[in-house]
């Protein structure tokens, strides 16, 4: 083994030890030493009354399939995610320790759904969905984390009516007036020749040809009800990849830049960190700087507690393969960011 490889191995061991000291004991498994994570997506549990049919000629509930596809698409936005979808037959085998081998398993449990459609000057639709995301450890196959997440969406569509309730008089289906209406002289009648249904006492029956409890997919995917599901799924993905409590990559501030030695250094201090393009860092990313505080307790079973604390924020200016140049954008004046501080990068960052 060459001297260079030996030094690199020693540095990796030191960084790994520091990372474990940073995270609480129940969160150590959330720190990844290399880019990439293998995820097993378990079958969805749906305890809500919603069913979504593929078509009226194929009355099969495809709700679980569509939710799983949407969630996998969100997980795939992290370029190093490797996804395995388990069937209902494979799920018990995986929970007992069978193949495939993954880092974690995720199961979504939908337990609450509210859909409203109020008719007043149009259609006011609101969807609310609540789910529980369960994360299983890939080694023990035991539940390691659970979180309740909700999504909500609302949409109002203005509809002037269907021509059966008017201002003061009745208009026959033929369009010929039985007598002169005084309000016909107003300009609004030219805009809505069939009248305005202000109270929506008789909504268009075509809007209700399909019961919303068993809608067709082509119509359901454009409703605020499905948008509520999508928002809940996105929140679930963000919770999984959150930089503090979720799965993350951890690097370190390893050196100041040469800019600090110039006669006129930049206003904000700049450093080099040990995370780069391979680890998923991009220019413009905002990364958290973390430290660990040690506490001596009176609990004999836990005499020492190490808790992570946030030390500030750095912004990525330039990226190389395994390193990046950052500048300090936020820090504690009493405890400024310094060398050897840890830098935390969530597995997924929205680079828009």
Show Cβ contacts of residue 7 under 8 Å, excluding neighbours closer than 6 positions.
none
Mean of pLDDT values over 93-115: 93
CA distance to 146, 241, 283, 330, per residue, from 265 (Å)? 47, 36, 21, 18
Q: Which CATH code is given to the segment(s) 29-159+203-240?
A: 3.40.50
Residue with tokens 């998923």: 280
Q: Identify whether the C-beta of residue 31 lies closer than 8 Å to the C-beta of residue 250.
A: yes
Count of residues in the chain: 352
Of residues 270 and 165, which shows the higher confidence score?
270
What's the pLDDT score for residue 34? Answer: 67
Give the rounded percent of residues in the chain with a pLDDT score beyond 70.
70
Indicate if the alpha-carbon torsion angle 67, 72, 73, 77 is positive or negative: positive
d(CA 210, CA 215): 6
Question: Would you say residue 243 has pLDDT above 60?
Answer: no
Confidence of residue 79 (pLDDT cuts 50, 70, 90): confident
CA distance to 21, 82, 344, per residue, from 338 (Å)? 18, 35, 15
Instruction: Give me the chain's average pLDDT, please.
Output: 77
Domain boundaries for CATH 3.40.50 within the chain = 29-159+203-240
Domain boundaries for CATH 2.40.10.410 within the chain = 248-346
In this structure, how many other beta carbons lie within 10 angstroms of the beta carbon of residue 182? 9
Helix (H), strand (E), coil (C) string for the chain: CCHHHHHHHHHHHHHHHHHHHHCCHHHHHHEECCCCEEEEECCCEECCCCCCEEECCEEEECHHHHHHHHHHHHHCCCCCEEEEECCCCHHHHHHCCCCCCCCEEEEEEEEEEEEEEEECCEEEEEEEEEEEEEEEECCCCCEEEEEEEEEEEEEEEECCCCCCCCCCCCCCCCCCCCCCCHHHHCCHHHHCCCCCCCCCCCCCHHHHCCCCCCCEHHHHCCCHHHHHHHHHHHHHHHHHCCCCCCCEEEEEEEEECHHHHCCCCCCCCEEEECCCCCCCCCCCCEEEEEEEEEEECCCCCCCEEEEEEEEEEEEEEEECCCCEEEEEEEECCCCCCCCCCEEEEECCCCCC
Confidence of residue 47 (pLDDT cuts 50, 70, 90): very high
Question: Would you say residue 263 has pLDDT above 70?
Answer: yes
Against a cut of 0.85, is the pTM above it? no
Give the rounded percent of residues in the chain with a pLDDT score beyond 90.
35
Residue with tokens 């604390």: 309
CA distance to 57, 74, 161, per residue, from 69 (Å)? 22, 9, 38
- 13-37 pLDDT, tens digit each: 444 444 434 443 343 446 666 667 8
Show Cβ contacts of residue 331 under 8 Å, excluding neighbours closer than 6 positions.
289, 311, 312, 313, 337
CATH architecture of 248-346: Beta Barrel (2.40)
d(CA 100, CA 110): 25
Of the candidate ranges 234-238, 294-298, 317-321, the one whose mean pLDDT is the lowest = 294-298
Residue with tokens 């019961």: 211
Indicate if the alpha-carbon torsion angle 310, 313, 319, 325 is positive or negative: negative
Say if strands 53-55 and 58-61 run parallel, antiparallel, or are unpaired. Answer: antiparallel
């Amino acid at each position: 083994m060459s001297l260079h490889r030996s030094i690199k191995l020693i540095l990796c061991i030191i960084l790994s030890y520091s990372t474990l000291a940073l995270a609480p004991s129940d969160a150590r498994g959330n720190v990844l030493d290399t880019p990439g994570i293998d995820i097993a997506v378990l079958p969805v549990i749906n305890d809500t009354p919603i069913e979504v049919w593929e078509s009226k000629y194929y009355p099969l509930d495809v709700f679980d399939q569509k939710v799983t596809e949407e969630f996998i698409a969100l997980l795939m936005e992290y370029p190093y995610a490797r996804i395995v979808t388990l069937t209902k037959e494979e799920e018990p085998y995986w929970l007992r320790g069978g193949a495939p081998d993954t880092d974690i398993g995720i199961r979504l449990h939908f337990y609450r759904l509210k859909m409203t459609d109020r008719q007043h000057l149009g259609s006011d639709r609101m969807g609310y969905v609540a789910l529980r995301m369960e994360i299983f450890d890939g080694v023990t196959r035991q539940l390691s984390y659970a979180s309740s997440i909700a999504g909500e969406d609302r949409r109002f569509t203005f509809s002037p009516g269907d021509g059966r309730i008017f201002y003061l008089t009745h208009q026959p289906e033929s369009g010929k007036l039985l007598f002169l209406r005084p309000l016909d002289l107003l300009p609004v009648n030219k805009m809505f020749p069939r009248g305005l249904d202000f109270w929506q006492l008789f909504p268009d029956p075509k809007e209700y040809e399909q019961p919303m409890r068993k809608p067709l997919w082509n119509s359901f995917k454009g409703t605020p009800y499905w948008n509520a599901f999508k928002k809940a799924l996105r929140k679930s993905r963000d919770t999984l990849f959150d930089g503090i409590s979720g799965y993350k990559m951890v690097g370190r501030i390893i050196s100041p830049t040469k800019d600090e030695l110039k006669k006129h250094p930049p206003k904000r201090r700049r450093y080099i960190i040990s995370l780069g393009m391979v680890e998923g860092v991009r220019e413009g990313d905002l990364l958290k700087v973390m430290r660990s505080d040690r506490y001596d307790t009176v609990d004999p079973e836990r005499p020492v507690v190490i808790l992570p604390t946030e030390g500030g924020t750095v912004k990525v200016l330039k990226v190389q393969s395994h390193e990046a140049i950052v500048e300090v954008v936020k820090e504690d004046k009493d405890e400024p960011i310094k060398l050897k501080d840890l830098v935390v990068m969530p597995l997924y960052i929205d680079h828009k």
